[in-house]
Chain A
Amino acid sequence: EPEVTQTPSHQVTQMGQEVILRCVPISNHLYFYWYRQILGQKVEFLVSFYNNEISEKSEIFDDQFSVERPDGSNFTLKIRSTKLEDSAMYFCASRYRGAYRDTPFNEQFFGPGTRLTVL
């Protein structure tokens, strides 16, 4: 069964450093997302991406964050200058279709996550 993959599984970095989290969505999916989950807290939406541009972003997704789909398979989240409070689990997700409600394809498929630890 196809799945979303993420690398690395765990990233440790120093405050102020740049990190890039990588995701390979399911190959025929068109919509891509990043979420994060701080330890013990709920999953929070960061950004959605479609047709090579951001379609929606949350207040968390400030100028320090960027996303890119550099080729036909990868989807990346970059944090330019990490802060202690960026420590969290970051999940990538992808979805097959647009808002066609009567299909099962509205479900989002999540990757296993990257645990980011900022020291």
Chain B
Amino acid sequence: DAKTTQPNSMESNEEEPVHLPCNHSTISGTDYIHWYRQLPSQGPEYVIHGLTSNVNNRMASLAIAEDRKSSTLILHRATLRDAAVYYCILYNQGGKLIFGQGTELSVKP
């Protein structure tokens, strides 16, 4: 399974943008980049996904490097509710999600 590397933890201030990086240097051409997050005491929750182009949705934006070896999840204005563990996952043809340790994001008021 293709591997991703994320920082263990990051801090942000409320209402400021947050950029969560992910490296996936061994990504294959058919891998989609998915981001999930896990709020405290809850199940994982889908955030966003992309293949090559940058993507936006109501929750976040995903910026994908031109060589696809890295990506960045962008939360435009962090709120206290965004404090969670964020997982960057390479996903291919459906099937299982392989979770790493993710990045634990803390948001300070």
Contact = CB atoms under 8 A, between A and B. Distances in A.
A101 B51 contact: yes
Most chain A beta-carbon neighbours within 10 Å: one of B34, B46, B94: B94
A43 B42 contact: no
A42 B97 contact: no
B38 interface: yes
Contacts of B45: 110
Nearest to B47: A107
Interface residues of A, number: 27
* Interface of B, helix, strand, loop or mixed by DSSP: loop
Given A44-B99, A101-B51, A95 B43 contact: no
Interface string A55-79: 1101000000000000000000000
A106 B96 contact: no
Contacts of A113: 42-43
Contacts of A31: 94
B46 A55 contact: no
A44 B93 CA distance: 19
B94 A45 contact: no
B43 A106 contact: no
Contacts of A33: 96-97
B101 A98 contact: no
B101 A56 contact: no
B95 interface: yes
B80 to A, nearest CB: 20
A56 B99 contact: no
B81 to A, nearest CB: 16
A99 B30 CA distance: 11
Contacts of B100: 42
8 contacts: A33-B96, A42-B99, A42-B100, A48-B95, A48-B96, A93-B44, A110-B44, A112-B43
Interface of A: 4, 31, 33, 35, 42-45, 48, 55-56, 58, 91, 93, 95, 98-99, 101, 104, 106-113
Interface of B: 32, 34, 38, 42-46, 49, 51, 87, 91, 93-102
